[in-house]
Chains A and B, each alone.
Chain A
């Protein structure tokens, strides 16, 4: 049987794409390597009775029209509004509501542009790149520094440091570099899902299944079959094939092109670009089970603990951590962001107890002195707990159990290259129209299309992934639908 589309990966993007395509009456198959659908929309018990979303606490927002068209609210995805964030320095703190405004408007404009590009059928051959260039919304950010951008938002130096951390949301970068202002686009938080992100994943899965998509878990896609230059289907780990007219990959750029194809089959310009795509600094997650809700730090109200808590943010520390990461070393004091997730969602901890997650920035996938060992893991955990203890005393003695998730663990569990959740550094040459690649000669790469005819790229390396959840998947689905309707496939 030949499917209209085969989707590799059942994460938020893959499920949203499946639901969109199946909802239009197309035959869709989804293959997922893991034993369950959801990808990073997962919630896990890491200590008896204590649960947390292991990879991230909050995803970027789901665009409202996609949220409602997939009917996610009725399917149990309830997202709490994003709370204010707190920054703690020795003897000082600052409470900040999420900076809205221009960045928000730019994100909307970019999502609208990609979705619009996707809905127009592909141009191939002669007409591929003839259209005059239309500047992207937010393109002017690519020559500005994040420090400048933040200076415009606040006059207070502590508040600026807090804004930097809030915009980066656990990521790190050198905020004094030209182009770092683009990080503003990636700084949106979509709110925590009631019951953990796993509930959101379940809602997306239900939406896809109810629309008629077939989801197969525990089956890894190993290669993309091609016939006469265009995509013909997906080869699976068990030796079978799925024939499909179009394939949407929600893997990251490197996995998609370097592991699903033989390099020699692809144009050199494409392989070069994929090879040169730079990863973002990795993050580590420390999940902590606490025997009771911690006392708020002196001078802080309990309600301030509902949002992200940034520990001693500063521009210099971010720069330092980024450079340490580039050397392949583990920072002595990694930028840390805490979330008392059980304060927002009490179901994540047993009654009377609490769950705290710590997101550590600038953690290398493989340290320069060799792979992660138990000693190195223990040292990182001790470092993280010591950092927390300095600014928020009384936490460490409450810890009942913990789990540390490092970039290699994320790579193993989610199947993303280098454990890089961002899917590639948010640098000027890897954002907007250049994410994941600029138009290559003779190919139309707008709206999640790729130079390989019939292959569409959603997933973390796509243009929309840092800005919004599900949007990249929906864009790919719309592109597939448009190209099928125009008989381009």
Chain B
């Protein structure tokens, strides 16, 4: 065993790469361990879909931290945006689509056919969320200790998304547009505190790169390439094909990791971009996380989301109108609450909420001419259905295609290839107290020197890389404190 490294980063996805790059920039000797053959994690083009390869994870960037872009010189390393500030379009079977962009007047015009009152209310709704986001800003930029939940957010922190939307809007159409986002993290929209998700979204929009929802040119893989270039330039030793078997502990603190191959790598701190559950229950030795934490973690998320990627011979009709948009499909908010209960019970819900993006509509690099890609996220779905995913997946595909066909007639006939990624079983359940806590509470673990730097420590599941940047700062401070 060679001399101990300063830091070890587990997982070579965007979060792991960002954390490793920052640690190396701070002068640490860093190694990054990636289980797969290439870096990128769920953002790498790892799924074969006909002649193409597509990523299994996120389909859009949500509020990529502008400081990460600047400090890691990502633009110089080739990161470009194919589309920024994606419009939010709610597709309706009972009328015209709702186009909710930044232009408040245009938004009001598209809401008016459903409800005059909601059209007037939408401006107030957004203003209120941004006011909450401003209050939250301290919580958002804060790199260290938590300032706690500001007074103004206390009511929001107790209100369910459904109750919040019910109070804000009268038309079912408007409520349904937000149903998909209300189920981020696998909570029921009726659960207390889920309206905080909207405030976090607004905060991310305010603090992210202008144009919160963006897609890199060349897909998510382009972001991975830029980040991996930054990590290598900073001097990170990247080891691919090196799955970690478990963590090495000395006393209550982490001392390194043991690879599946049996190699031991000593390090003073470890940052994991895996989920909290995977890090503390699978990698850490039994009992290291503490009894109560282990019990809570073992529950895991019960409700998750699936991803569908389709290659098509023609652009779906809804995307022809406004290519750079995320299309949201949900019939009724109330239906989503019932669907969540169904999914929790392990059944396929009767009503589903979808988010569809057509990346080829604004990025011609992704597929050869004449081929279009449609990427769809589906919520809420059981993580472990009673009949098992192999049996349920065909039924889900059928349900999703029927729903898509209703909003884009003729889509089914155009499908060339289709792939379905079923919900990840190892995800952490979203916990409302986490939304109220500061970064440090989410990043730190009960094990000394072990930090989370991935999506597990994001307040709202999103690919912003902000967590990784802050986790690296906290880890560096920890190392300096230990040295003193």
A326 to B432, CA, bound (A): 24
User: Counting CB contacts under 8 A, is A258 at the interface?
Assistant: no
Cβ–Cβ contact A429 & B163, under 8 A: yes
- In the assembled complex, the CB of A39 is this many whole angstroms from the nearest CB of chain B, namely 29
A92 to B155, CA, bound (A): 43
Cβ–Cβ contact A428 & B188, under 8 A: no
A179 to B345, CA, bound (A): 19
Residues of A within 8 A of B337 (CB): 323, 326
Using known A-B contacts A179-B158, A434-B155, determine if residue A143 contacts B432 with beta carbons closer than 8 Å.
yes
Kindly identify, within residues 180 to 235 of chain B, every residue whose CB is under 8 Å from any CB belonging to chain A.
Answer: 187-188, 190-194
Interface size on B, residues (CB 8 A): 25
User: Counting CB contacts under 8 A, is B94 at the interface?
Assistant: no
Cβ–Cβ contact B163 & A278, under 8 A: yes
A278 to B192, CA, bound (A): 13
Residues of A within 8 A of B193 (CB): 142-143, 178-179, 428
Cβ–Cβ contact B433 & A143, under 8 A: yes
Q: Which residue of A lies closest to B152 (CB)?
A: A438
A142 to B435, CA, bound (A): 13
Kindly identify, within residues 284 to 337 of chain A, every residue whose CB is under 8 Å from any CB belonging to chain B.
Answer: 316, 319, 323, 326-327
- In the assembled complex, the CB of B366 is this many whole angstroms from the nearest CB of chain A, namely 39
Cβ–Cβ contact B167 & A272, under 8 A: yes
Binary flags per residue of B34-65, CB closer than 8 Å to A gives 1, else 0: 00000000000000000000000000000000
User: Counting CB contacts under 8 A, is B398 at the interface?
Assistant: no
A362 to B167, CA, bound (A): 22
Cβ–Cβ contact A438 & B192, under 8 A: no
A382 to B342, CA, bound (A): 29
Using known A-B contacts A142-B193, A178-B187, determine if residue A429 contacts B341 with beta carbons closer than 8 Å.
no
Residues of B within 8 A of A143 (CB): 192-193, 431-433
A275 to B168, CA, bound (A): 11
- In the assembled complex, the CB of A410 is this many whole angstroms from the nearest CB of chain B, namely 24
Contacting A174 at CB < 8 Å: which of B151, B190, B334, B431? Answer: B190
Using known A-B contacts A178-B432, A276-B167, determine if residue A316 contacts B345 with beta carbons closer than 8 Å.
yes
Contacting B159 at CB < 8 Å: which of A177, A327, A428, A433? Answer: A428
Residues of B within 8 A of A438 (CB): 154-155
User: Counting CB contacts under 8 A, is B166 at the interface?
Assistant: yes
Cβ–Cβ contact B166 & A429, under 8 A: no
Binary flags per residue of B410-436, CB closer than 8 Å to A gives 1, else 0: 000000000000000000000111000
- In the assembled complex, the CB of B181 is this many whole angstroms from the nearest CB of chain A, namely 17
User: Counting CB contacts under 8 A, is A176 at the interface?
Assistant: yes
A434 to B155, CA, bound (A): 7
A191 to B160, CA, bound (A): 34
Cβ–Cβ contact A429 & B192, under 8 A: yes
User: Counting CB contacts under 8 A, is A427 at the interface?
Assistant: yes
Kindly identify, within residues 416 to 438 of chain A, every residue whose CB is under 8 Å from any CB belonging to chain B.
Answer: 427-429, 431, 433-434, 438
Cβ–Cβ contact A133 & B191, under 8 A: no
Report which residue of A179, A180, A278 has the largest number of chain B beta carbons within 10 angstroms of its beta carbon. A179
Contacting B191 at CB < 8 Å: which of A179, A278, A434? Answer: A179
Residues of B within 8 A of A327 (CB): 334
Cβ–Cβ contact B151 & A142, under 8 A: no
A276 to B167, CA, bound (A): 5
Binary flags per residue of B384-408, CB closer than 8 Å to A gives 1, else 0: 0000000000000000000000000
Which B residues are closer than 8 A to A by beta carbons?
Answer: 151, 154-155, 158-160, 163, 166-167, 187-188, 190-194, 334, 337-338, 341, 344-345, 431-433
Beyond A174-B188, A178-B194, A429-B159, 5 additional contacts (C-beta under 8 Å) are A142-B158, A178-B187, A178-B188, A178-B192, A179-B158
Which A residues are closer than 8 A to B by beta carbons?
Answer: 129, 133, 142-143, 174, 176-180, 272, 275-276, 278, 316, 319, 323, 326-327, 427-429, 431, 433-434, 438
The 8 tightest CB contacts between A and B, nearest first, are A179-B192, A428-B192, A276-B167, A428-B158, A178-B191, A429-B159, A429-B158, A143-B432
* 30 pairs, A vs B, C-beta closer than 8 Å: A142-B158, A143-B192, A143-B193, A143-B431, A143-B433, A176-B188, A176-B341, A176-B344, A177-B160, A177-B190, A178-B194, A179-B191, A179-B192, A272-B167, A275-B167, A276-B163, A276-B167, A278-B163, A323-B338, A326-B337, A327-B334, A427-B158, A427-B160, A427-B163, A427-B192, A428-B160, A429-B160, A429-B192, A431-B158, A438-B155
